[in-house]
Structure 1
């Protein structure tokens, strides 16, 4: 076991330690420039997905809105509450600024990776689709690259399907124990039952559940944060000034100064919004849309919601309170966020925050499961194999919630996600000309006066796309 830990530690050092974050940021900047700031150009269109009129009328179909909410539910997790606090503790208030920067360039990366997943998706039923980076590699680069898709799939199952679900279960159980004094065993049983009910219903039930859970959790958390911001509205300009000054080393809040702010902010931003990591495209491919770029725009909006909106709310809650002391040690993680909230709103707020943690973590669990199922399809779509995966995931959630030490077994999760991201970025680089072709088509239709562009499969006859997934529409 010690040997395996050493190996995965080295893998983690080679990915997250020094190479992956700069690559993700540089590539995000490249995509932003090459696409002509596509995330800015289409920012207004992102909000269209919230209107019912722009979603699938057929209840059996997964709409763009539902795919958005599933991905938001996955991106938004305990990291938005605890992770932001850690970033501020280690990197100072300036980390928030660099978190914003990495999100803005990540919006372009997410648009490209999710558009490619849409283009190369496969129809699996009358109202069902399957896609993601693995299928983009196989059908976009060719079957001789199936080994690369295999590496991607193994990493996705290990990191998201198993490892991160154990951590989410542990987060929920810890919050319930601390706030409500509910024994871990009861939380483990309840969480496993709820997860099983949703997971065994497949992607359609996951989408319907997310359509209910995610708006409740997001609006509820934002409402609490906005109350705190309004109560301290006179301090907001000072907080913004502090964030900017710390970001550029004008004022040093922690050891490491500007360097610590940049590293912690970018790391938290990337971990939180997952842009470029190759996870969200698996969900993006399930939606029925008129053009791949449409879903790319929607998923870009998901990055904005996760980081610019929700992570920022957590940051302001912390920085507006008297609990956070720059450079001080002792309180960090979820405890810092929790104490900041209670100092502003009273002790009752810790219970409110615990419920938010429960919803955030549960939405991530069902999202993570689907990523594992989608990855499994690269090797087998046998119903028995899928059932075994579902049982295993429910069991892992139960064990993770029951025994906090059990999460130590999943030490490989972060390194595997690092490998996953590198494979995904390699695929995006190789398929980037195809993404630009889609973008030019989308822009040309808008210029011609077509308000809702439609993909014409005849224009992509040279590519291995599933024509049945792109039937011509009026």
Structure 2
């Protein structure tokens, strides 16, 4: 088993090192310059569109989930134990300089996130709950390659709702067991049972229930973790200038740490950052496509904000917790232990209980977000209700089994599978990026005219395969009964 795990780790590292990360970097830079640095210059629009009113149908009900709810579904998947364990690993291997490269790749990846989520919206389809879409859908309708969409969908299902959900459940179980000394044999079984029931209650309720849970859990989770980080940083405020200095100076290998040549620092920072914020990997567009918005670019902007929320807020909180409380990283343990030690040294042993609560919120929200990614792709392959019911049952079982299983081989395998998924998606968005740039131009022209942008497929008649966006009425919803004129002034 150890030999198999070593081989999987080796193969996964080579895939990420020689294929995925270079392609992410090259395409991210291309999208950045071609879009006029959309991920920076349109930050005000990101916040503006996050709170846009949701278009309604003829009965007055929302057409689908709101822009904010789609944001929280994707954030639920992005923000998980990787924000605690992954950042700790990056710092233990690459030192403080790895944080700089996490930030850098998040900024570059923001452009990739914009492209993929804009395309996800453009090629979404309608279903009984509202909308669904994602890479599999733009591969079929945009590239006319359903086979490619099926390959992507199968890889994503294996990776996110199955492998990653078992790992999130395993982390919750291990953390709670650790809070009780790690010797209580019944705890993993109890945790698994509770998690399975909670997961079933949410996912069998459909998209609307998933959205309602994530829009409550994600902000609460972020607020608790932010307050915790501010308390610890405040306790070590005098170290903050040194922390910032070490992040920027050690990013260039001027002070080598454990294996910290500049190449190793860049690689570990970039890789851990991409694992966390998922920019360009093809996961977030599944959530972004579910939103009812009046222009595809709006959800592209919202999902770019999601990358920043994950890396510049949640990952940075972890980094500062570790770095202000652990000045000496020599012999630092990797993963979540480094963060736990930083918490205990600052707040005392009771903080392990608090960390268990935070990890529960992080991991459970990820289970819900990961499940929805799988649902969207299961329905792409086969939309029959019985297939979805079987899938939901399997996910619940995986959550239970993950709570009591060993996770080493699953972690290694999932990392490699995610690399394959990223490669397929990056090829697709590279080929379809011209459509996203046309949509951005259309959005910008309407904004300059003082309008709240509305897209219909007649505005891009040369683009085939768009399933929705038939006319303005279907996009914005019916005019209110009172006969008021709808204003498009932004």
Q: TM-score, normalised by structure 2?
A: 0.91
Structure 2: how far apart are the matches of 1:149 and 1:83? Answer: 29
Q: Which residue of 2 aligns with 1:461?
A: 461
RMSD over aligned CA atoms reads 2.0
Compared with structure 1, are the counterparts of its residues 92 and 283 closer, same or farther at alpha carbon in structure 2 (3 Å cutoff)?
same
Compared with structure 1, are the counterparts of its residues 141 and 97 closer, same or farther at alpha carbon in structure 2 (3 Å cutoff)?
same
1:369 to 354, 368, 371: 371
Q: Which residue of 2 aligns with 1:191?
A: 195
Q: Which residue of 1 aligns with 2:432?
A: 431
CA contact (8 A) 2:5 2:409 kept: no
Structure 2: how far apart are the matches of 1:202 and 1:440? Answer: 35
Which segment drifts farther, 387-396 or 344-353? 344-353
Q: Which residue of 1 aligns with 2:329?
A: 326
Structure 1: how far apart are the matches of 2:410 and 2:44? Answer: 44
Deviations 1:257-283 (A, max 9, x none): 222210110001100000000000001
2:294 to 266, 290, 299: 290
CA contact (8 A) 1:93 1:253 kept: no
CA contact (8 A) 2:293 2:475 kept: no
Which segment drifts farther, 457-466 or 90-99? 457-466
Structure 2 spans left out of the alignment, 5+ residues: 477-485
Q: Which residue of 2 aligns with 1:123?
A: 126
SS state at 2:380 partner: coil
Deviations 1:426-453 (A, max 9, x none): 0001101101100110111111111x21
Structure 2: how far apart are the matches of 1:93 and 1:385? Answer: 47
Q: Which residue of 2 aligns with 1:353?
A: 355
Deviations 1:61-117 (A, max 9, x none): 300000001111110000001110000000111000000000001111101100000
* Count of equivalent residues: 466
Structure 2: how far apart are the matches of 1:280 and 1:472? Answer: 22
Compared with structure 1, are the counterparts of its residues 228 and 254 closer, same or farther at alpha carbon in structure 2 (3 Å cutoff)?
same
Compared with structure 1, are the counterparts of its residues 371 and 407 closer, same or farther at alpha carbon in structure 2 (3 Å cutoff)?
farther
1:151-300 matched pairs, under 5 angstroms:
151-180=151-180, 183-300=187-304
Q: Which residue of 2 aligns with 1:137?
A: 139
Q: TM-score, normalised by structure 1?
A: 0.94
1:391 and 2:402 correspond: no
1:341 to 332, 337, 343: 343
SS state at 2:142 partner: helix
Q: Which residue of 1 aligns with 2:28?
A: 28
Q: Which residue of 2 aligns with 1:111?
A: 114
CA contact (8 A) 2:5 2:408 kept: no
Compared with structure 1, are the counterparts of its residues 447 and 201 closer, same or farther at alpha carbon in structure 2 (3 Å cutoff)?
same
2:310 to 285, 290, 306: 306
State the Cα distance separating 1:350 from its structure 2 match.
1.5
1:67 to 65, 70, 86: 70
CA contact (8 A) 1:457 1:472 kept: no
CA contact (8 A) 2:229 2:317 kept: yes
CA contact (8 A) 1:80 1:311 kept: yes
1:2-41 matched pairs, under 5 angstroms:
12-41=12-41
Deviations 1:389-439 (A, max 9, x none): 111111011001022x26635753222211110010000011011011001
CA contact (8 A) 1:172 1:358 kept: yes
Structure 1: how far apart are the matches of 2:283 and 2:201? Answer: 23
Which segment drifts farther, 181-190 or 424-433? 181-190
Compared with structure 1, are the counterparts of its residues 394 and 427 closer, same or farther at alpha carbon in structure 2 (3 Å cutoff)?
same
Which segment drifts farther, 388-397 or 7-16? 7-16
State the Cα distance separating 1:179 from its structure 2 match.
1.2
State the Cα distance separating 1:2 from its structure 2 match.
9.6
SS state at 1:123 partner: strand
State the Cα distance separating 1:50 from its structure 2 match.
5.1
Compared with structure 1, are the counterparts of its residues 260 and 8 closer, same or farther at alpha carbon in structure 2 (3 Å cutoff)?
closer
CA contact (8 A) 1:161 1:368 kept: yes
CA contact (8 A) 1:121 1:469 kept: no
Structure 1: how far apart are the matches of 2:88 and 2:468? Answer: 47
Q: Which residue of 1 aligns with 2:483?
A: none
Deviations 1:341-376 (A, max 9, x none): 121122222111111100100011111111111111
SS state at 1:378 partner: helix
CA contact (8 A) 2:116 2:429 kept: yes
Deviations 1:132-155 (A, max 9, x none): 00000110011xx11111110110
Structure 1 spans left out of the alignment, 5+ residues: none
Structure 2: how far apart are the matches of 1:218 and 1:56? Answer: 28
